[in-house]
């Protein structure tokens, strides 16, 4: 993910811009999927990972004042 961000912003003067914003987004989604897969594995494949993510997201949005 960091390599894609560096490539998208051209922070490596030897290489210049090598990635796009879409590449960075794709890498971030890979990280999210990997985390969900690890959670599913740790929970014994109970198929609740997306449900738990939704609960976590709702709680985070409430704390941020974006939900009532």
pTM: 0.79
Distance CA(21)–CA(29), nearest Å, equals: 12
Q: What is the mean pLDDT of residues 21-49?
A: 97
Q: What angle do CA 54, 28, 64 make, to 5 degrees?
A: 45
Asked if residues 35 and 42 have their Cβ atoms less than 8 Å apart, the reply is: no
pLDDT, mean of residues 7-35: 96
**CB distance 44 to 17 below 8 Å:** no
- Rounded Cα distance, 27 and 65, in Å: 28
Q: Mean pLDDT score of the chain, rounded to an integer?
A: 96
pLDDT in tens, 51-60: 999 999 999 9
pLDDT band at 1 (very low <50, low <70, confident <90, very high): confident
Task: Locate 32 and state its tokens.
Answer: 């999210």
């Amino acid at each position: 993910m960091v390599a894609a961000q560096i490539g998208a912003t051209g922070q490596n003067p030897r290489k210049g811009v090598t990635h796009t914003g879409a590449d960075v987004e794709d890498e971030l989604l890979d990280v999210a999927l990997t985390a969900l897969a690890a959670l599913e594995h740790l929970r014994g494949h109970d198929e609740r990972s997306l449900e738990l993510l939704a609960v976590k997201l709702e709680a985070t949005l409430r704390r941020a004042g974006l939900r009532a």
